[in-house]
Chains A and B, each alone.
Chain A
């Protein structure tokens, strides 16, 4: 029994990581039709900015409040890079989907190489508060605190995103824009501001995933974003592009499936099952679990 609980909770931790990356991807794709390969770069920037801040920024550190400051700095850095990318590189190419994909592909190659050039290709130990190394006993299972931290963070982000989409004016514009962008434009609303906004939100969520994911793994390396990104893509497609709630459901399904099959089957089999799930969902329901509607 305790094994099942442990697997469930670590699976949910993995799901939280996927959700943080996928929610931004999904919103950006739903609203702006940009398939963002550079999302892994935002994750890397968040992780490295947190790592840098913990060592160098006054007031930040590896423990207590200092760690919170470091993570906030990392999230802001990721968000700033995302906004910069949107304004400088993506905006001139709107409505040219292929070119946008190509630019983000180039950016992901160049950006990761730049991280590697600056801080080296090897994984570096990540500063983390002492309590994240400990385990908590939940119903007899010893669960690592870092995983619980991820779950809590993802739940908070999910709640905040849903509240933002439902109760604010910009949330309304984003929801409407995902459903029918032309109509929103025709009503005289500048959707481009919303584009920048979803990039900022997506970048922040990805940077948070980078920082907390590094706490979970204990190290930070330039290639970290890339491998996560593929599973985040799968989560986005399964969940339905443009749907935050769909991403959340799909992330939980993918995380749990991966964790359980990897434990009870051979290692690596869970990853294959996830791809199998993707194929099944696409054949039975090509628009994904939730379709292209930003449910709030």
Chain B
């Protein structure tokens, strides 16, 4: 151990900027439009009746598939928002689930218990969640590094306790609180309208990606990247690290709350699971699997993680796994075991996540092409 021990957590590996990665010259001019094309494809996806056996249970436009896709999209957006903290500012927060849960429970309680119309409930919830993030961030950011991680974890634990103990009979405790759909707009209710929820989730994802993209491209974003790489230097330059970190924390909290609102509508209620620290840990897993600090890495990571989390359960009970010997089939039937193992392997062998896969494969493909 020769390096100097610093109290702060070292930043996650910096991402390779897009312009440095070699691309095919022919497609280079079209690259800026690729996200737009992906958005259009995703938006018209529900009109397709293609059946993908093994990947989804029903055709693409069946409600079950659309709901799974919508959940995946929400978590893609959530991971992108979390990356604003972890990958772009270098803050290791273990309490991000709190703001997501605030969105889920806030909407649910305001609609079901207080009987507010959805738009008011959503507006109040997002505002409240953002204020909550600002207040808690103001306290938590007085610490740095591991201590910051611990404080955010503790705050999130308060949320989990409040929900589980069911103070005042608001949250429904362990059973959760199903959403009262009678006051909701008709377009968002019922199995046949799942497609609208899918579009809502897609819109949320697009919003988060846009916001994160705009922020990280702005002067503020450059300060945030500076904080990740060398906080002391930002201080020496005369900028206040605390204020910038609080901005990032509040923004990420607000985005997570909005994600909670959408999630609450998709699954039609709230369950205590969303307050668990496990959810924050899985957000971390998503971002690291996808590639921290990149534009599309966290989104892909979030979508893939949620997809695997749902589908591996089916995979675990399939015949192919059940026919294996017990010492193999039992662990494989646990999605978290598979995901945790993949995650550990990714930390060792793919530190840049999915987003770095292409640059890693480039030497291989060029070598193959030369033959």
Which of B92, B154, B285 is the one whose CB lies under 8 Å from A278? Answer: B154
Would you call A168 an interface residue if the criterion is a C-beta within 8 Å of the partner chain's C-beta atoms?
Answer: no
Give the residues from 1 to 50 in chain B that come closer than 8 angstroms, CB to CB, to chain A: 1-5, 9-12
Would you call B284 an interface residue if the criterion is a C-beta within 8 Å of the partner chain's C-beta atoms?
Answer: yes
How far apart sit A241 and B331, CA to CA, in the bound complex (Å)? 35
Give the residues from 130 to 172 in chain B that come closer than 8 angstroms, CB to CB, to chain A: 139, 142-143, 146-147, 149-151, 153-155, 157-158, 161-162, 164-165, 167
Q: Which residue of A lies closest to B343 (CB)?
A: A106
How far apart sit A37 and B278, CA to CA, in the bound complex (Å)? 11
Give the residues from 107 to 144 in chain B that come closer than 8 angstroms, CB to CB, to chain A: 139, 142-143
Whether B337 and A105, one on each chain, are in contact in the complex, defined by CB atoms closer than 8 angstroms, is no
Would you call B70 an interface residue if the criterion is a C-beta within 8 Å of the partner chain's C-beta atoms?
Answer: no
Q: Which residue of A lies closest to B8 (CB)?
A: A97
Which of A89, A102, A226 is the one whose CB lies under 8 Å from B288? Answer: A102
Contacts A110-B344, A117-B330, A117-B337 given; indicate if A275 touches B154 (C-beta within 8 A).
yes
Q: Which residue of A lies closest to B155 (CB)?
A: A275
Most buried by B among A92, A113, A286: A113
Which of B92, B149, B167, B339 is the one whose CB lies under 8 Å from A268? Answer: B167
Whether A268 and B340, one on each chain, are in contact in the complex, defined by CB atoms closer than 8 angstroms, is no
How far apart sit A29 and B7, CA to CA, in the bound complex (Å)? 12
Would you call A107 an interface residue if the criterion is a C-beta within 8 Å of the partner chain's C-beta atoms?
Answer: yes
Q: Which of A64-72, A202-210, A230-238 contacts B (4 or more CB under 8 A)?
A: A230-238
Q: Which residues of A contact B277 (CB under 8 A)?
A: 226, 230
Q: Which residue of B lies closest to A279 (CB)?
A: B139
Q: Which residues of A contact B161 (CB under 8 A)?
A: 268, 271-272
Give the residues from 323 to 349 in chain B that come closer than 8 angstroms, CB to CB, to chain A: 330-331, 333-337, 339-341, 343-344, 347-348
How far is the CB of B211 from the nearest CB of chain A, in Å? 25
Which of B10, B151, B347 is the one whose CB lies under 8 Å from A97? Answer: B10
Whether B167 and A89, one on each chain, are in contact in the complex, defined by CB atoms closer than 8 angstroms, is no
Whether A116 and B334, one on each chain, are in contact in the complex, defined by CB atoms closer than 8 angstroms, is yes
Whether A234 and B343, one on each chain, are in contact in the complex, defined by CB atoms closer than 8 angstroms, is no
Contacts A105-B281, A182-B2, A191-B1 given; indicate if A286 touches B142 (C-beta within 8 A).
yes
Q: Which residue of B lies closest to A181 (CB)?
A: B1
Q: Which residues of A contact B268 (CB under 8 A)?
A: none
Would you call A103 an interface residue if the criterion is a C-beta within 8 Å of the partner chain's C-beta atoms?
Answer: yes
Give the residues from 6 to 59 in chain A that come closer than 8 angstroms, CB to CB, to chain B: 29, 33, 35, 37
Q: Which residues of A contact B146 (CB under 8 A)?
A: 29, 35, 97, 241
Would you call A152 an interface residue if the criterion is a C-beta within 8 Å of the partner chain's C-beta atoms?
Answer: no
Give the residues from 149 to 202 in chain B that come closer than 8 angstroms, CB to CB, to chain A: 149-151, 153-155, 157-158, 161-162, 164-165, 167
How far is the CB of B349 from the nearest CB of chain A, in Å? 12
Q: Which residues of A contact B150 (CB under 8 A)?
A: 233-234, 236-237, 278
How far apart sit A92 and B3, CA to CA, in the bound complex (Å)? 15
Contacts A89-B344, A266-B167 given; indicate if A117 touches B284 (C-beta within 8 A).
no
How far is the CB of B318 from the nearest CB of chain A, in Å? 16
Whether A99 and B351, one on each chain, are in contact in the complex, defined by CB atoms closer than 8 angstroms, is yes
Give the residues from 102 to 132 in chain A that come closer than 8 angstroms, CB to CB, to chain B: 102-103, 105-114, 116-118
Would you call A137 an interface residue if the criterion is a C-beta within 8 Å of the partner chain's C-beta atoms?
Answer: no
Would you call A139 an interface residue if the criterion is a C-beta within 8 Å of the partner chain's C-beta atoms?
Answer: no
How far is the CB of B97 from the nearest CB of chain A, in Å? 13
Residues on B lying within 8 angstroms of A by beta carbon are: 1-5, 9-12, 92, 139, 142-143, 146-147, 149-151, 153-155, 157-158, 161-162, 164-165, 167, 277-278, 281-282, 284-285, 288, 330-331, 333-337, 339-341, 343-344, 347-348, 351
Residues on A lying within 8 angstroms of B by beta carbon are: 29, 33, 35, 37, 89, 92, 94-99, 101-103, 105-114, 116-118, 181-182, 185, 191, 226, 230, 233-234, 236-237, 241, 266-268, 271-272, 275, 278-279, 282-283, 286
26 chain-A/chain-B pairs, Cβ below 8 angstroms: A89-B344, A92-B348, A94-B1, A98-B92, A103-B344, A106-B340, A108-B281, A109-B285, A109-B337, A110-B337, A113-B334, A113-B335, A113-B337, A116-B334, A117-B330, A182-B1, A230-B154, A234-B154, A268-B162, A272-B161, A275-B155, A275-B157, A282-B142, A282-B147, A283-B142, A286-B147
List of 8 A-B pairs having minimum Cβ-Cβ separation, nearest first: A110-B340, A268-B165, A109-B340, A113-B337, A113-B336, A106-B343, A113-B334, A106-B344
